[in-house]
Chain A
Amino acid sequence: MNRLEALRNAVGELLDKVEGVIALRNKSGHVAPHLFREREELNGLGLSPKYPLPATLRLIQNEYPEAKLGIVCRGCEERGLIEMAKRNQVELGNVTVIGLACTADEAEECRCAKPYPSVLVDAHVGERTEPVPDRVAEELRQKEVAERLSFWRSQFDKCIKCYACRNACPQCFCPECTLEEELWVERGRVPPPFPSFHLIRAMHTAGKCVGCRECELSCPAHIPMTALYALIRQEMGEMFGYEPGVDLEDQPPLVLPMEVEI
């Protein structure tokens, strides 16, 4: 039984218990998020490319907070859900999670540190594969400061300021976004001046970014921004012992006071 068949069975079983399951549906050669409510619809169930389904869950829960829902989650999406739940963006009490493990190829493409879900999952689909180290981030760490600057300048100069990175990000849910404020990121300047747009985004996703790479996948200029975020994630792990998306109980360090003796 292949992964798609197994997922179809799992979603079908879950449909008996919940009002709807959020998953991907094939439509005219593409996939799009869909709330499956009937078994008959499951012929159209899709797998890839991945899409940030937690963001869809958030939208549905905003309208129907009491709905009993299911959601298909990859490893990254589960990590995203955990971070969103900590910030009251989703309510996990009424949600059943079907875990979907990524294939080795998918994990390789995403340089994924944990290509399978394991925390919130109620049903597993697919075989676990090995984590993949982020080589782009490691190369960047080895570079001298001046080399990093020229690397990022050439990358950020490609930016067309389309905001796709922010729009695709499941963790970017603020009703008002600093990246649209004239004071910090002037309107009408493309590429956005350095250092502003990308570093502000790096700061605002620090402690939230779970490395799902949706921003990078949606970037039309192919800016490898997740390499920067990955390094910050590592540093924050060392500084505060915090790893986003691992534990529902761990509180994000930037919202807590320091633990100091006074």
Chain B
Amino acid sequence: MYEPKIIAYACTYCSYPGADLAGTSRIKYSPNVNIIRVLCSGRVSAELILRTFREGADGVLVLGCHFGDCHFINGNHRTAKRVPILQRILEFSGIEPERLRLEWISASEGERFAHVVDEFTDTVQQLPPMRQVLG
């Protein structure tokens, strides 16, 4: 079993504090995840996700605020539409769509953050390493 490399794009207003809470609450979660803070989940463009895969990430998590909580009012609405489309594009071009996941995590959901990361790591671990896929 290999250790997958997972990149999580976490929005600075909800999901990043959520991850922070997981840390300060001493909740254990998978060390495979590397968190990158972004201003809004709406900032995570398709090209950014594709480049992340190309650089060798085995899975990409996009974490944003719940609907109604977005600091930019509807930045996460864009993400909510963009990610499913990109998942289909990945699927039709031969990359497992399970490698990309979108989750809403608020600043108070430290436990949920840990749970999402653990579960996602398990999912990605079942898939072949991206290095192998991209050859």
Residues of A within 8 A of B (CB): 140-141, 145-153, 178, 183-184, 193-196, 198-200, 202-204, 206, 228, 231-232, 235-236, 239-240, 253-254, 257-258, 260, 262
Measured in the bound complex, the distance between the Cα atoms of B80 and A254 in whole Å is 10
Q: Which residue of A lies closest to B133 (CB)?
A: A149
Measured in the bound complex, the distance between the Cα atoms of B89 and A151 in whole Å is 14
In the complex, the answer to whether B93 meets A199 with C-beta atoms within 8 Å is yes
Which residue in A145, A200, A231 is a CB contact (below 8 Å) of B46?
Answer: A200
Min CB distance A217 to B, Å, is 21
In the complex, the answer to whether A257 meets B92 with C-beta atoms within 8 Å is no
Q: Which residues of B contact A147 (CB under 8 A)?
A: 94
Q: A253-B81, A257-B74 are in contact. Are A150 and B94 (CB under 8 A)?
A: yes
Binds A, one of B21-29, B48-56, B118-126: B48-56
User: What is the predominant secondary structure among interface residues of chain B facing chain A?
Assistant: helix
Q: Which residue of B lies closest to A146 (CB)?
A: B94
Which residue in B68, B86, B96 is a CB contact (below 8 Å) of A203?
Answer: B86
- Of the four ranges (under 10, 10 to 19, 20 to 34, 35 or more), the interface on chain B belongs to 20 to 34
Measured in the bound complex, the distance between the Cα atoms of B21 and A202 in whole Å is 38
Measured in the bound complex, the distance between the Cα atoms of B42 and A14 in whole Å is 47
Cβ proximity bits B26-49 to A, threshold 8 Å, 1 near / 0 not: 000000000000000000001100
Q: Which residues of A contact B77 (CB under 8 A)?
A: 257-258, 260
Min CB distance B104 to A, Å, is 11
B43-98, CB < 8 A from A: 46-47, 50-51, 53-54, 67-68, 74, 77-78, 80-82, 84-86, 88-96
